[in-house]
Structure 1
Amino acid sequence: MPEQARRDELAASLVEVRERIARACTAAGRDPGDVALVAVTKTYPAADVVLLAGLGVTDVGENKDQEAAAKAAGVAEAGASVRWHFVGQLQRNKANSVVRYADVVESVDSLRLASALDAAAGRHRDRPLDVLIQVSIDGDPERGGAIDPVTGGSSVEPGRELWRIADYVASAETLRLRGLMAVAPREWEPARAFEALAATAARLRADHPDATVLSAGMSGDLEKAVRHGATHVRIGTSLLGMRNTLR
């Protein structure tokens, strides 16, 4: 697709997404300025990120390190600047790579991963790395996400317990605890999932008042996430279209 045509397509989609966010905020009695858009560009080229940056998008999410690292380098080479969010499951051996380009890691779900990021950030960064703890809303140990014993049961592996991870991140010199991230389980109605997440977020803020970020909601359920306090919504398909539209 020619660059101008793609820019026009992205611009139109961006208007629609921002209007959805604004309507959701109005319905929830919230200020639209309190909800940020994270454009999830996995599988899309760096050229799309450059176009989005030119359209005013400031936050971009990626979920695979190999793709994200190359894309971040390409965007920087093109002269564009965005705030990179790593939103996918992260292996500890990728920590050294991710901390070099990511501004935020949204998917910290274990003490071991938090420790690896802490060490890597100390080696490769001159400022703290913003961290969101990924929450397993249903407490299923097979899924990614730290577990809140209040909602996920008391027999939680210590290294996966949300509160232990939060305290570790908050005390680390190279990390900054910013809040929580979650994906609604497929088996749950999204409103129920986000209501449970909001309760966990409220308990986190009671102990860590600066942990105010709540990253929740995607293309199919952003309105329900906003209703329950999401401060960031992660939007891919509704913004960039299906992958085959780029051919």
Structure 2
Amino acid sequence: MSGRREELRGRLDAVQARIAAACDAADRDPQELTLVVVTKTYPASDVTLLAELGVTDVGENRHPEAGEKAAEVAAPLRWHFMGGLQTNKAGAVARYADVVHSVDRAKLVASLGRGAAAAERDLEVLLQVDLGPEFGRPSDVRSGAAPTDLASLADAVAQTDRLHLGGVMTVAPLDVDPTPVFERLAALSQRLRADHPGAVTMSAGMSNDLEAAVAVGATHLRVGRAILGERPPLG
């Protein structure tokens, strides 16, 4: 276990150094950013080690794996669910997630609202935007709502008890320069805040493109492989 701890410590330190350098280049304060360590497919023991190393936010994208891990880990972490989510699983996810990054349709908003209300807990949600078509990629490559649907989705969240609109999220399409993608997300975020001033979160940037995300104003970085290593095959 000590060997794994030191491996995670070294990788975490390296990522934090990258974030610090990116913030320095962008004249930003690293305290403005939240690092969400994506622990999907890795055991709860790794999550516990990360918490001991100072990690406060972890991300998962598969249910029920995410819920089982959240129940097993005793550390007081903030759990982010960031995978595609079926409406029939939304109620269960609302019982343990603190933030859902992948809200992309009105039915999912309603299901999460019902689940959060039943669990008597508040849930932050981010609107996932599919920017693939704007950059020459088919819309089914990534999950997400079309930019034209954001306003109505945001209003639906704002009108749903127990849900809080945190902001927006995207994943840069594969083999596309991430900078213009994240710049587009930043513009959409600014437009959204005109009607929903509290929606300040911009979740963008992963292991390969976190510097580009920092440069355009991302508030949350979702980093897995650079910290945990190459992922084992999915079962």
TM-score scaled by structure 2?
0.94
Partner of 1:72: 70
The alignment partner of 2:191 has SS state of helix
Partner of 1:200: 188
CA distance, structure 1, for counterparts of residue 130 and residue 210 of structure 2: 18
CA distance, structure 2, for counterparts of residue 72 and residue 206 of structure 1: 35
1:187 deviation in Å? Answer: 4.2
Runs of 5+ unmatched residues, structure 1: 150-160
Runs of 5+ unmatched residues, structure 2: none
1:14 deviation in Å? Answer: 0.9
Counterparts of residues 36-115 of structure 1 (less than 5 Å): 36-75=34-73, 79-115=74-110
Partner of 1:133: 127
Q: Deviations over 1:68-102 (max 9, x none)?
A: 01111111xxx312100000000001012101110
Q: 1:184 pairs with 164, 172, 180, which one? A: 172
The alignment partner of 1:105 has SS state of strand
Paired residue type of 1:192: P
The alignment partner of 1:198 has SS state of helix
Partner of 2:207: 219
CA distance, structure 1, for counterparts of residue 230 and residue 128 of structure 2: 26
1:4 deviation in Å? Answer: 0.6
CA distance, structure 1, for counterparts of residue 105 and residue 152 of structure 2: 9
Q: 1:164 pairs with 133, 141, 152, which one? A: 152
* Displaced runs of 4 or more, over 6 A: none
TM-score scaled by structure 1?
0.89
Q: Percent identity?
A: 54
Measured on the aligned residues, the alpha-carbon RMSD in Å equals 1.1
1:201 deviation in Å? Answer: 0.6
Q: 2:8 pairs with 10, 13, 18, which one? A: 10
Partner of 2:227: 239
Q: How many residues align?
A: 227
Counterparts of residues 138-157 of structure 1 (less than 5 Å): 138-139=132-133, 140-142=138-140, 143-149=142-148
Q: Deviations over 1:166-200 (max 9, x none)?
A: 01101212100010111001142101111111110
CA distance, structure 1, for counterparts of residue 32 and residue 132 of structure 2: 27
CA distance, structure 1, for counterparts of residue 43 and residue 22 of structure 2: 29
**Greater displacement, 116-125 / 34-43:** 116-125
The alignment partner of 2:192 has SS state of helix
